[in-house]
Amino acid sequence: MASFDDNAARAKRRKIEGDATFPVTAEITSYQQLRDILRFQQNISQQTKQGIRQFKEFLASIHGDISESEKSKKLQVLEKYCASQYVKRGDETPPICFTDLVSIWNFAESNNEESTLSLIPSVLASFLKTVSSHLEFREFSIELSKYLLSNENIKLFNRGLTASKSKEHLISPCLRLLTEIVSFDGGAVAKVVYAKRDITLKRLDVFLTMRKLQVGKITADRRKPTLRRIAQRYLLANLRYQSPAAKAELLSQGKLIKVFIEDIKRDSGDIVVDIIKTLDKFVVSDAVLSRNVKSRLLSRWNLERFATLYGYEKDSEEIIPEGVSVSDEIHKFLLSVCTNVEKGVLLSDNGWYSSGNSTEPLINDNETISLGLDAPSHFDKFNEPIPIRNGNLSTLIQFLRPESDTRQMQLLLKIFQAAPELVYDYFSKRNMFNSDPKPTQAWLGESAFLFSTIQLPVPQKCGFREGSPTVPPPVSVAIESILPRPLTQQMLTRCINQNTEIVTLFAIKATTAALRKLRGVLKMFDSMGSSNPELWSQASTKLMNEFTSRCPTMKDTIIAFRQSPKDDLLQRDALLELLSLYYQVAPTVAFEQKFDVSLVLVEVLDQLSNDELSTENRQLLFSQLQHILTISQHSPAMRWWQKPAPLTLSVFTSVLKVAVEKQEHSARAKINSLLQDVLTQDSILIQPGSFEALVLSIQLEDENTPVPWSFIDNCLTRLAKRPVPYLDQVSSLPSKSSLISPILVVISEQWPFIVKAQDEMNELFTASWISKLLGYLMEYGEDKNALTSVRDTILIETKVKKSRSLLKKAFDHGTEAHRLVLAEEARMGGTRTLPSSSATQEVNLSDVFGKMQMADETHAGLYEWEREDLELAIDQGYIGNLILCVCSEHEEVRRQAMAGLSRFMAKLKESSFEERRTIYVLVGELLETVKGLGLDTPAPFIVGELAVRMFAILTNPSHKLYGKINTFLNRSPQWEVGKIPSYWIDKILYHEPESDDGNREEIGWLLDLFVCGLKSELDMDIYRRAGVFERLFSLYSSPSLTGGLRKKVLHLVYRVCEIGGSTTLITRAAALSWVQGQAAISDAHSSTLRALATELYRTSSSEWVNRWSGSALAAAVMSTGASSVQQWAC
């Protein structure tokens, strides 16, 4: 301090000549002028200072608004001046640069000329900044930097950096000059700066400390170049350009990093954004830096300081430039560091298995009594906070306020997904959702957060990382992810009973989402409990009990439904969905209270009879009907065959009538499935296909032929109430098979009463319906002899000629039925196909399935997309054509396609297309996959087709496979081609669909992928290794599979024939035996199967196949009834 005082004393004795004036020197046009005005003299006059200032103005003018020719002249002058100031020395010491300026700086340091001590480094910093983009100055600037940092000149920096903190005019220029030196040419001299760190980094923590006057208030102009701001720029430059070892040493200085981040919320927006981006790119994303180094930066205290930046714009009066958002940048930064194990904060955990939870299997033997989960070795309750691995994140999430900021909510939810162990930890420490359930801003924010938490996906294997767990996770931990602690039974009941719709809907939707999640967890427990099923079953029971203690009771839910306004269709639909889930997932809760759903069903049917309903209301009513029917499947109180007022038909027939007559196809498919179950379970129809025949016989009536609903209802009700006598009569019918629906004998019995009524029109309408029903039952495989017997019995009682004529033509509806059903199938999206007659007939397979589309020889996909706007090219499918070019047989086409996809990614990245990020990931993974396969051979078509189909789904987020596609893309940056078929078979056939009505759509998508992805022997080999055919042959026999989906399976078999893979399919997948077995069943596609048997044998190496099978397969083909196989067998 004494030296500082001496300097201050000398400064006071100096004579200030501020009033003196000097003539302005002419504009600099030659390097001689620069040399003259900057020549060193044994004193520092005002003329010398003026010359230095003029040099600084000259440097600034180069970046000014001048012409290129003028700028070039000035740069030439500067280059000549630099050459005149460059003196090489013979030894290893750096050359002398800017002899005059450095001499003046040394003289000023010796004589304590503070104005010059401030001016010289400022000019040198301006010089380096000016020439940094001009290659011709590179060598000189590097040598200048080394010379300035040499032992003979480092004292000049020391003089400035050791000055009193109040003398910012001495410190700031030195820091600016060091910043430019570190940054020059991408850090070419950075290591020299670090080597002199005892001086160059001296007191940096002091300079970063905000002055007391600045801490108390935030100035309007935060961009003012304060000492802290300049020091921040210097430190950021070091973090950008120093070596990993140097950066690690800097980050290890706890005090330095603390003051750097401590008051970051008071810094200007531009410097804050720069800090965030620099730390993200050059520290946490630096793969060379160790995790420990990153963890020092991202300590608990620093993470909290970063989190305060979420409210930067709210608390700041600074005018932020457009496009710059501190809260957005910090959100992206925290999302990255908190969800990525490699970035220093997140540690891998075991999800719901805490670090203090035993996962060792419980030992059972004959000498001990198994206590299961009640054993002391398996604790389930935590009296103290649960032991966790992610302590830093645990502290951070308690600091966040998700109820008041959607970004903070998103961050917290992403942390929950990355570290599932923190869900229990958070809710065990956080007290929330205690206010009255009113739609205030705070309550709405908390409810949105809790609902989003419930909707988080269940971690695979409950989060267990290594292998498969042998014991279930603690129930007290699992329940917090399903129905969090703040959502108590009392609170949810209060919300449901509120008169405010948004509050009531929250409680209903939250409980509904929790029930769906509980169902998924229970299924996971069941699938993982193979090693110790009793233990996992006990965990399921405990979890269910814990859930029922938190969810609203059935009684309260039913009361809420009965009190809800009948015109509030949205709320009633939500309540019915909740009630239906209680029956499906928590039957113990559902059966606590009796719920007569029949009356509700009557109300809904009555409302649906109103033809003036809006489309939205009709959809809601159909949704309610679907939930009611789900409840009816589980509820013993359902009275299907009663006829309550004001219905004119029984409840069942009324529902059937609505399902057939209304055009809400998605809801109708579910309703039909439920009605089909009722009829088959009550032994009214013999098989699911018979229900299809019943529906068709009603649907295909024309407007001039009314459906005899009363007769249909009478027959159904009689059989349901007194089934035994009719079942006995079924056995007396002549038949060759057991496929006879009991409804036939009831129709035969009740027909005479129609005749006796002598209502000719009613008899005609009824005869028309019976005729169609008999014909369609035969088409769907019921015994023709029995059907003929019933028809003949009815004819005996029939006197009206028109009725007799209709009944005689009962089995002649095949052609008409096919035509009408194809029209209906086209309208409904191809979900049903009427079976063909069981009689042998020749089928042209190319007409049934179409021919395989070959690749476009013009390869227009390579250039079509670039002719259109990017979004239009995506919508028109041009990108899909480009993708398929990677499967071309021509290497040049494949290479052009790869280049085209790279250009597409570049354009996509700069576009504003809404789904650009996910599509960018998809195309990037496709490129990596194709590169991994090599460009010397074509990519398998399954790769190209999968990419095209995923591309189409990503542009339509409402698609039912959108979630599964994103999950696939997040697995790996490169696809394992051989595992693609088995992966999608597993995710679609063996996992639940993402939406309740998405099963058929997902299966259809999968089959289309397999058909279109099979175009070469390479694809065939991939399918064979993945066991595709065996699994799809098994799928074909599923009772729930529609005719349209079965046809797609057969199309795949035909595709194998087209590409020459028949021999493989016959010998490896027993295809002919499978076709023979299916053709033997009275199936919708019997004739197609017989044709496929012939085609498989014809396109195979028949000689080799005969030798391999001992001619048994040829006989098998002939046994199917194929007429043209003999010539191929010879």
Taking the whole predicted model, whether its pTM rises above 0.75 is answered as: no
Residue 681's pLDDT band, with cuts at 50, 70 and 90, is confident
Q: How many CA atoms lie within 13 A of 22 on its CB side?
A: 15
Pair 439, 531 in one domain: yes
Segment holding 536, helix H or strand E:
helix 533-548
| Pairing mode of beta strands 96-97, 86-87 | antiparallel
Assigned domain for 773 exists: no
Q: Is the pLDDT of residue 367 over 80?
A: no
- Would you state the pLDDT for residue 990? 85
- Would you state the pLDDT for residue 857? 66
Alpha carbons 272 and 708: distance in angstroms, whole number:
77
b/e 1045-1073 (16+ beta carbons within 10 angstroms → b): bbbbbbbbbbbbbbbebbbbbbbebbbbe
Pair 246, 185 in one domain: no
Pair 167, 81 in one domain: yes
Assigned domain for 1053 exists: no
Percent above pLDDT 90 for the chain: 36
Range from 18-27, 211-220, 289-298, 728-737 that averages highest in pLDDT: 289-298
Assigned domain for 232 exists: no
> Which has the closest alpha carbon to 558: 500, 604, 600?
600
- Would you state the pLDDT for residue 1129? 42
Pair 401, 494 in one domain: yes
Pair 311, 356 in one domain: no
Cβ atoms 595, 562 nearer than 8 A: no
Residue owning tokens 């004959």: 366
SS3 content of the chain, % helix, strand, coil (to 5): 65, 0, 35
Q: Is the pLDDT of residue 511 over 90?
A: yes
Alpha carbons 1065 and 1053: distance in angstroms, whole number:
8
CA-atom Rg of the chain in angstroms: 41
- Would you state the pLDDT for residue 315? 78
Backbone angles phi, psi at 96, to 5 degrees: -85, 130
Least confident of 352-366, 897-911, 993-1007: 352-366
Assigned domain for 98 exists: yes
Other CB atoms closer than 10 Å to residue 359's CB: what's the count?
A: 15
Residue 302's pLDDT band, with cuts at 50, 70 and 90, is very high
Q: Is the pLDDT of residue 819 over 60?
A: no
- Which are the contacts of 45, defined by CB distance < 8 A and separation ≥ 6? none
First-to-final CA distance of the chain: 113
What one-letter code names the amino acid at 831? T
Pair 472, 488 in one domain: yes
Assigned domain for 1054 exists: no
Pair 496, 533 in one domain: yes
Q: What is the pLDDT of residues 404-461, one digit of tens each?
A: 999 999 999 999 999 999 999 999 998 888 888 999 999 999 999 999 999 999 998 8
Alpha carbons 770 and 804: distance in angstroms, whole number:
11
Domain count, the chain: 3
Residues spanned by the domain of 39: 1-15+22-202
Q: What is the pLDDT of residues 730-759, one digit of tens each?
A: 878 887 666 788 999 999 999 999 999 888
- Average pLDDT estimate for 152-169: 90
Pair 300, 409 in one domain: no
Please identify, among 552, 573, 607, the residue that sits at the C-terminal boundary of a domain: 552
> Which has the closest alpha carbon to 57: 18, 23, 24?
24
Alpha carbons 448 and 898: distance in angstroms, whole number:
44
Residue owning tokens 């007799």: 804
Pair 407, 471 in one domain: yes
Alpha carbons 718 and 750: distance in angstroms, whole number:
10
- Average pLDDT estimate for 495-503: 91
Pair 188, 331 in one domain: no
Q: How many CA atoms lie within 13 A of 733 on its CB side?
A: 30
Assigned domain for 429 exists: yes
Alpha carbons 5 and 443: distance in angstroms, whole number:
62
Q: Is the pLDDT of residue 365 over 90?
A: no
Backbone angles phi, psi at 717, to 5 degrees: -65, -45
Least confident of 212-221, 289-298, 319-328, 1095-1104: 212-221
More confident residue, 1119 or 953: 953
Residue 140's pLDDT band, with cuts at 50, 70 and 90, is very high
More confident residue, 813 or 394: 394
> Which has the closest alpha carbon to 706: 667, 778, 647, 764?
764
Q: Is the pLDDT of residue 8 over 70?
A: no
- Would you state the pLDDT for residue 673? 79
Residue 23's pLDDT band, with cuts at 50, 70 and 90, is very low
Assigned domain for 972 exists: no
Other CB atoms closer than 10 Å to residue 313's CB: what's the count?
A: 14
Please identify, among 552, 577, 597, the residue that sits at the C-terminal boundary of a domain: 552
Pair 148, 244 in one domain: no
Q: Is the pLDDT of residue 895 over 80?
A: yes
Q: What is the pLDDT of residues 624-669, one digit of tens each?
A: 988 998 888 787 667 888 888 778 898 889 888 888 877 555 566 7
Assigned domain for 592 exists: no
Is residue 322 classed as helix, strand or coil in its secondary structure?
A: coil
Farthest CA pair distance, the chain = 138
- Would you state the pLDDT for residue 166? 84
- Would you state the pLDDT for residue 137? 92
Percent above pLDDT 70 for the chain: 85
- Would you state the pLDDT for residue 561? 93
Alpha carbons 1066 and 195: distance in angstroms, whole number:
75
- Which are the contacts of 347, defined by CB distance < 8 A and separation ≥ 6? 341, 389, 390, 419
- Would you state the pLDDT for residue 377? 52
| Interior angle at CA 767, CA 763 and CA 768, nearest 5 | 120
Residue 829's pLDDT band, with cuts at 50, 70 and 90, is very low
| Interior angle at CA 544, CA 542 and CA 549, nearest 5 | 95
Residue owning tokens 């419980």: 362
- Average pLDDT estimate for 920-944: 91
Q: How many CA atoms lie within 13 A of 245 on its CB side?
A: 3
Please identify, among 552, 587, 619, the residue that sits at the C-terminal boundary of a domain: 552
Residue 515's pLDDT band, with cuts at 50, 70 and 90, is very high
- Would you state the pLDDT for residue 432? 87
Burial of 1042 (0-12, 13-18, 19+ CB in 10 A): buried
Average pLDDT over all residues of the chain:
83
Range from 92-101, 499-508, 773-782, 1024-1033 that averages highest in pLDDT: 499-508
Range from 80-94, 376-390, 471-485, 1034-1048 that averages highest in pLDDT: 471-485
Pair 122, 149 in one domain: yes
Residue 486's pLDDT band, with cuts at 50, 70 and 90, is very high
Alpha carbons 275 and 287: distance in angstroms, whole number:
19
Q: What is the pLDDT of residues 94-113, one digit of tens each?
A: 788 989 899 999 998 888 88
